[in-house]
Amino acid sequence: MVSDLFLFLLVFAQAVSVANCVTPDRREGQSTISNYEVDVRANAAPIHITGERFLSVAVDTNSLNKHWMHFNFSSAKLQTMTRALSPAYLRLGGRAGDFLIFKNPCDGSEPSTGDTGVEDPLTYLCPQDWDDINNFCSDTGLKLIFGLNLLLRTEAGGWDPDNAEHLLDYNTHDVAWELGNEPNSFKKKANITLSGSQIGIDFNLLRTVLNNRVRYVGASVYGPDIGSVGRKKTSTMLEGFLSKTNTTNATTFHSYYLNGRIATVDDFLDPETLDGLLPGQIDLVESLVSKYREPGSRVWLGETGSAFGGGAPNISDRFVAGFLFLDKLGMSARMGLDTVIRQTYYGGHYTMLDLENLDPKPDYWIAYIYKRLVGRRVLRVKITPPTTGSTPCSVKGGDKQYVRVYAHCTSTNQSGYDAGAVTLIVLNMHKNDTANITLARKLGGRTIQQYLLTPYGPEGMTSPEVNLNDSPLHLKDDTSLPEIEPVVIKRGKPMLVPPLSYGFYVVAKAKAKACLS
């Protein structure tokens, strides 16, 4: 039963380790060096291969109500930064999508913030908006995922596809589709309750509507974009959905670590924030998908950020948020997810771009470097912590994990590295301890290329800017991104990862069998 599975996961959630064992942290006190040995199984088969667009981004549908703010599709600066994240999806979805109407033609009478006097006013999608965002995606190498309005219902209680059909008949672009956003919360936001079975039936209708139009046969559909995974009612909803439809190209769920209204910097630096929720959610969704789908069926983290409610002010867009973002990428790949969609590329307190001038925030730079260095093949990692007498532990087990390591084959598309190279993602969440990391076996004793990220300026963890190897990362100009230059760690020397830092480490001449075939 789902409830029994959830209780099991809940009991063991904080014991589940997807990053690797480490020693307990000394949160305050004298700076020390702690020694770790990391063993990457570079000659074994990859444990997972992520999707081509694994790291993707989202813009909230509510941006339509604000006339996109400063998200100017014709901006050379925006196009330059976005093109650097390709290949990726751009998801246009969110709460406002469940109150969205495609209107053609738009006559200028549409209110800029929707109808007034209701909690969730209507959002109007005009043909110009549709063409603008699709042309932007085409120009920058992204693929649009668009969320249709599931709350449009017939008198009989099913989904009413009439407005969606108007959009489909107007559209000339290559688009993927969703239907509804977090249907588990419909009762709260629209006083409507839909069962998972009914939503599955609605998705079957969407597939029929698509297949009735030749150009949409085979179009990608993703869903159900369910939130609050782990609660009994949402688990029941997801199981009902999966039991009624097999029309989706991936099963999607949403996850946030924290409540943005009350989250603190210390919350962002607590390993329990990383391990206390998401691993159990991934396990639960994957177990349900495996029950109703064929082996290898894809699971997506279809919307995710550091904190719900728009993010934590002056935290979710700062350096400290990078610990959550980078660990989520490593954890999700390690646990078998195909795609992770970061909320948001632009908008809210968790924006990756400045809301006024579009300058890149720290999480943008993480994504930029990740796209260059991290490939799709995921490798198994073991780490021996510095505790005296401890035994090597795999990605499960241990106390709070302040030092976290993930490994992938290096991407050869844009990095300049040859096949066979290995990229390590390393996070040190210790406040005082430097992590002295030695690589074992296949990767031991080799030259390492370091790409270390630290906060720039006096704000420390809440800095809106970031250093790469002690030099600040900035755009060269509106059409040029900086080259990412490594610091070389000579053969036989350890990786010294400072307290409260994260980065990427490439073993260029690893000749890893997992990365050569």
Judging by DSSP bridges, how do beta strands 495-497 and 142-148 pair with one another? unpaired
What does each C-alpha distance from 46 to 329, 375, 406, 439 come to in angstroms? 16, 11, 12, 18
CB-based contacts of 146, cutoff 8 Å, min separation 6: 92, 93, 175, 176, 177, 178
Supply the DSSP string of 342-361, one letter for each residue. Answer: EEEEESSTT-SB-TTT-PBP
Q: Which two tokens stand for residue 426?
A: 């390393």
Rama region for 397: left / alpha / beta (φ>0; ψ in -120 to 50; rest): left
71 class by beta-carbon count within 10 Å (0-12 exposed, 13-18 middle, 19+ buried)? buried
Q: Which two tokens stand for residue 328?
A: 């989520």
Burial 371-390 (b: 16+ CB within 10 A, else e): bbbbbbbbbbbbbbbbeeee
HSE, side-chain direction, 13 A CA sphere, residue 140: 29
Whether residue 123 contacts residue 97, with contact meaning beta carbons closer than 8 Å, is answered with yes
Q: For residues 296 and 106, what is the distance between their CA atoms, to the nearest angstrom?
A: 44
CB 178: neighbour CB atoms within 10 A? 26
Torsion (CA) 210, 212, 213, 218 in degrees, nearest 10: 50
Polymer length of the chain? 517
Active-site residue, from 37, 178, 182, 465: 182
Active-site residue, from 303, 465, 483, 485: 303
First and final C-alpha spacing in the chain:
41
Q: Is 182 a catalytic residue?
A: yes
Q: Is 286 a catalytic residue?
A: no
3 class by beta-carbon count within 10 Å (0-12 exposed, 13-18 middle, 19+ buried)? exposed
Q: For residues 441 and 44, what is the distance between their CA atoms, to the nearest angstrom?
A: 12
Looking only at Cα atoms, what is the longest distance across the chain? 74
507 class by beta-carbon count within 10 Å (0-12 exposed, 13-18 middle, 19+ buried)? buried
Q: For residues 517 and 514, what is the distance between their CA atoms, to the nearest angstrom?
A: 7
What are the residue ranges of helices labelled H in 141-185?
162-170
Reported as type and span, the H/E element at residue 254 is: strand 250-259
Just list the catalytic residues: 182, 303
